Each structure stands twice: as C-alpha cells, then as structure tokens.
Structure 1
Amino acid sequence: MEQDVLTGYKPVNDTNVYYEFYPNQSSDKTFVLLHGFLSSTFTYRHLISLLKKDYQVLSVDLPPFGKSAKSNRYVYSYKNLAETVIKLTELFGLKKMVFIGHSMGGQIVLNILHMRQEIADKAILLCSSAYLKRAKMPLVLTSYLPYFHRFVKYWFARTGVKRNLQDALYNHSIINEEMINGYLEPFLKDEIFMALTRMIRDREGDLPRKILNQIQTPCLLIWGDHDKSIPLKFGEKLKQDLKNSELIVIRETGHALPEERPMEIFEYIKGFMEKSQMAAE
C-alpha cells in the first residue's frame, strides 16, 4: 500500500545527500531516480506521481544539485557520484533495483551498472549522456583561478533558466512559473557555483565503448526526436554498444523527457517491466 513520502538527508561519502523516498509495501520493485546536470529530483515530480502508485521510489538529489550539500571538497566524478548512490541505496537496504537516469543521470546509472551490475534489475535511460569527453585541460587549469566560480555564475545568469528550458523542451507552452522557480531555486546561493567549478576538474569522460559492451543489464533507452542537448544519433549509437537494450523514440519531444512526456514514459516503463517478467517466467 502506498504511503507518505519520507524526505531528508543522509551522510554519504562525507557529504549530505537529499532524498525523497516513497515506500510501497505492495511492491517488491524499487525505482531509483537520478536527474541530469543543473537539475534535481524536481524534474521527476510528474513521473514520481505515476510510479509511486505501483512501485517503491527513491529519488536522489545528486551532489551538488538540488538540496544536497554543495561542498568544494567532495569529488564530483561520475565514479564517486555512482559510489555515493550505491551507498545511499545500501543505507535503505534496497536490493535488485530499477535505475532511471535522465541526461547526466543516465551516465551515472551506466557507471553503477559497470561497477555493481548485480544490484540492478533493469535500467531506463532517458536521453542519457554518452560519449562526452573530459573537459579540456585549458578549462580545467583555468578553473583553479581565484573567483572562477563567479564566471560560472555569470555564464548561468546569462543563459538563464527560462532559456535553458526553452532549449531542453520542444513544447514551450508547458513552461510556467512553477517550472522556472523549481529549476532556479537551487542556484540562488554562491555555494553551488563553487561546487560546479570543482566538478569541471573532477568529471571524467563518459564510459568508453569497450566498457559499455560489457554491460549485460536490460536497458530501455527513450529519446526525444528533437533533443538538441544529446541528439538522437547518440541514442542510436548507445543502443548498438549496450548489447541488451532497446530504443524508443518519442516524436515532437525535446531533451526534457520527464517534463514533456511523463505519461508516455510511464507506459513504456510498465511495458518494459511486464515484458521482462514474462520472459523470466
């Protein structure tokens, strides 16, 4: 039976990680939701409202985003973020989870599958980051300059939340004050920009093809055909490199799938889960 949400912080890897946990005693499946760059668990609010009725859900604010701590001492590599998520799920005593990752969150899911394949039952990758190289050395070196975080803040202020949403969405009509404020709120304090400066240095490149080929976990890839951030060609390439995967393309949709198409995503997820269950039987 569905219960109220449990929210809070847990100390993991020397940082405080914010989570939203939706227990569901009638389900033996737990979905773990990981958001993308410059985002938070807020991006999953519509999908969570659908998933929590049938499944248990854990949504995580990946450091330094959302309400999680913004430390300039934490190592913001994908490997360490993946380890942080794994340790958080262990604190909840979760087993055989289904991981959902959007954009950068998808790359962290892939790191989890590479590191601890046995804890994942399945994975759903929504316009997942893939084949992105590490930041070039001149940028990494420049990030050590005093007050570099002010340049990061200036860049963010120039692009602006509304413009970023317009780039991420195909359907601009759904942009409203709630959405703009939800994405803006975590960026109102300087600490996030100091942490993002550290992330420029720590973030390694996306997993190479050789490692992707070794991942056996069943993966459902869902892409928007008008994704400007991570174009569909990367989804098609990822489908080739993940041996146990299928790709679904949603028409007239941009990068922000959980915002534009939560109901369609939920239906595809249910079909993916049911198909896997039938194959197991």
Structure 2
Amino acid sequence: MKILKNSVYLLLIAVFLLVIYLYSNVAYDKSVAALTPRWAGEPSQFLNIAGMNIHLRDEGPKSDEEPIILIHGTSASLHTWDGWVEALKEQRRVIRFDLPAFGLTGPESKNDYTIEHYAEVVIAVLDKLDVKKGVLAGNSLGGYISWATAVLYPDRVSQLILVDASGYPFKSESVPLAFKLSKSPLMSGLLKNVLPKSLVKKSVENVYGDPDLVTDELVERYYELSLREGNRGALTERFDQTLPGPLAKKIRTINIPTLLIWGRKDKLIPLEVGLKFKQEIATSELVVFDELGHVPHEEDPQATVLVVKQFLQKNKIKSPL
C-alpha cells in the first residue's frame, strides 16, 4: 500500500510539473500585422499571387533579364538567404519569397502543399514580376521545388543551384525534434498552442554543422515566424503532402547547368543524396563543404556564395559578376 501511495504521489508531481512546463511555454498565434514591423521591413512587399498575400523581396538591377530566385526550406523564411543576397544584389537581380505554409506568407488558401502546386506558385511569382526565365536556387524543400519546377516548366529555368536538396527517398542520421513532433498527430495538436523556444533552438542547432554558430537572434527569428497564424497547422500538412514521389524519375531529364552544394555534416539529408543528383543530372557539378550542415548557405554564406559566383561566371550569365 505504501508503494502504491508513493507511486501516486510521484505521478501527481510529474503531472504538476508537466502542467507548469506547458503553461510556461504557451505560445499563441501571432497576426501578420504584429510580425511585420520586425520581419518585413524594407525592401519587403506583399503581393497577391496564387490566392495568397506572399511576402517577397525583389532586389538588385531590374535590367537583369535572368534573375536569381532563392527558395528556402521547411520552417525557414526568405531571411535565410540574407548573406547571399548581400553578396549578389549589387550586380544581379535577386528575388526571394516566403513559401506557402511558412514565414509571413502563411497557409495556402486551399491547403495544397503538393510539390506540383509549389512549382505552380514559383511560376506565378515569375509571372507576377514579368520574369520570363531565371536561375532557381533552393535549399532542402526549396531545392525540391526548384528542380521540380525545372522538370515541369523547363522553358522558365535557365540554371539550377540545389543546396542540400530533397526529392529522393533518404534515411536521416538525425531529424530536428520540431520536425518529429510536427509529424505526430497528437504532438502537432499540442504544438499549436505550446512551443518551447528551447525546442526551436535545438532544432536549428541540429541542422548546423557547428551548433555554436546558432545565435539567440537566429533562434528568435525561427521562433517568431513559426508563430505566424496558421503556420504550425500548415507544417503538418506540408509533411503529409510533399513527399518524394514519381517525379524524381524525371530528374535525369534536366539538362541545364546545375550546381550542387552540400554540407558533409548534414544529418538530415545525407551527402549520398547529393551524389545521386550528381549521377542523374549530367550537366551538374557537386561542391561539398566539409564543416557545414544542412543549411550551408545560412551557416557560412561567404564561402558558399563564392562558389555560386564562380558557377554563374563559368556558365556565362548575361550580367557577369
């Protein structure tokens, strides 16, 4: 009887501590209006595209006939490309935007997160900005969207830059905890109202080769933008709908200059996926950064954008760098 009482007592303590923990980490949705002052300053704009109010930045010379379009990955935002944009915008037009389900763009109006629809959104952005053809550069999910757009709309893409891109089936060494929880029906429901900042920090550290480079400011950005109303529910739908599929069989049809950038310390999408892209895209070259992880463009923008500049020069972009 004493053992039973002690067990009940310990259980009550555990429940109490859990309630306190959840209460202290309550994080309700934030409106776009509340987030805009901090995360959508100049040169941000919101454009009505594909039934959504898409958060977008369009920088550099408008005379550039083949702009560079930067597409971020899961749970990121257009801010992940800040370093690359600073290095490119003086001589190249650079367009970046928050994908549906992420950043300040938020949920897709019809809850459609298939890869085909994401490609349609990219084309809609190009059409809105009167861009006939461009260089698509994407990381992770953004890489998947980039090559899928090249496959589905080959006349709109002149070159590809795939950064730790997805699209093939793969086995991760480690998955960010926030991703794992978002895939669970029970936990994803809980995360709609509870989001410990420590969880976000741990998840961002997981995709860096050197976790010590993850700053409080960086964590704050990922944390606050995840609170944009509707984003947490949309993330679960994104995982369910955007999976590697039959479109991957067409990757070998890509015949435009393609740069593959990979972090050797990527624990989410291993280097073997990059090697598979290299094997199937005959016009590709692969550059591996030994000390970087899943988001090398964000972790070390200076080193990675240098490779991008060299690639663009070699392939005779109309506005030479």
Q: TM-score scaled by structure 2?
A: 0.75
> 1:131 — aligned with what?
168
SS of the aligned residue for 1:58 comes to strand
Residues 1:195 and 1:144: Cα distance change in structure 2 (over 3 Å): same
> 1:66 — aligned with what?
103
Residues 1:152 and 1:211: Cα distance change in structure 2 (over 3 Å): farther
How far has the Cα of 1:109 moved from its partner?
Answer: 0.3
Q: Deviations over 1:37-58 (max 9, x none)?
A: 1111111111111111120010
> 1:137 — aligned with what?
none
Quick check: 2:148–2:247 contact (8 Å CA) kept in 1? no
Q: Which runs of 4+ in 1 moved over 6 A?
A: none
> 2:273 — aligned with what?
234
Quick check: 2:257–2:283 contact (8 Å CA) kept in 1? yes
How far has the Cα of 1:128 moved from its partner?
Answer: 0.6
How far has the Cα of 1:73 moved from its partner?
Answer: 2.7
How far has the Cα of 1:175 moved from its partner?
Answer: 1.4
Residues 1:225 and 1:207: Cα distance change in structure 2 (over 3 Å): farther
Aligned counterparts of 1:50 and 1:144: Cα–Cα separation in 2: 39
Quick check: 2:167–2:248 contact (8 Å CA) kept in 1? no
SS of the aligned residue for 2:45 comes to strand
> 2:219 — aligned with what?
180
Quick check: 2:66–2:131 contact (8 Å CA) kept in 1? no
How far has the Cα of 1:59 moved from its partner?
Answer: 0.5
Q: Deviations over 1:195-214 (max 9, x none)?
A: 22332443242455420111
Alignment of 1:15-26 (within 5 A): 15-25=52-62
SS of the aligned residue for 1:46 comes to helix
Select between 229-238 and 5-14 the one with higher mean Cα deviation: 5-14
Aligned counterparts of 1:90 and 1:257: Cα–Cα separation in 2: 29
Query: How many matched pairs?
Result: 265
Alignment of 1:99-248 (within 5 A): 99-132=136-169, 149-151=188-190, 153=192, 157=196, 160-189=199-228, 191-206=230-245, 208-248=247-287
Quick check: 2:103–2:228 contact (8 Å CA) kept in 1? no
How far has the Cα of 1:154 moved from its partner?
Answer: 7.7
Aligned counterparts of 1:168 and 1:42: Cα–Cα separation in 2: 16
> 2:175 — aligned with what?
none
Aligned counterparts of 1:221 and 1:33: Cα–Cα separation in 2: 14
Residues 1:208 and 1:29: Cα distance change in structure 2 (over 3 Å): closer
AA in 1 matched with 2:216: E
Aligned counterparts of 2:60 and 2:313: Cα–Cα separation in 1: 21
AA in 2 matched with 1:196: L
Quick check: 1:125–1:219 contact (8 Å CA) kept in 2? yes
How far has the Cα of 1:27 moved from its partner?
Answer: 3.7
Quick check: 1:148–1:197 contact (8 Å CA) kept in 2? no
> 1:140 — aligned with what?
none
The share of aligned pairs that are identical, in percent, is: 27
Quick check: 1:96–1:120 contact (8 Å CA) kept in 2? yes
> 2:113 — aligned with what?
76
Q: Deviations over 1:210-269 (max 9, x none)?
A: 201111121100101111011111100111111211101111111111222211221111
Q: Deviations over 1:75-110 (max 9, x none)?
A: 011110110111111110112211110011000001
> 2:21 — aligned with what?
none
Quick check: 1:96–1:121 contact (8 Å CA) kept in 2? yes
> 5+ unaligned residues in a row in structure 2: which ranges?
1-40, 171-182
Quick check: 1:31–1:100 contact (8 Å CA) kept in 2? yes
User: What RMSD over aligned residues (CA atoms) do the two structures have, in Å?
Assistant: 2.6
> 5+ unaligned residues in a row in structure 1: which ranges?
134-142
Rg comparison, structure with higher value: 2
AA in 2 matched with 1:17: I
> 2:298 — aligned with what?
259
Quick check: 1:225–1:232 contact (8 Å CA) kept in 2? yes
Quick check: 1:98–1:121 contact (8 Å CA) kept in 2? yes
SS of the aligned residue for 2:99 comes to coil
How far has the Cα of 1:32 moved from its partner?
Answer: 0.3
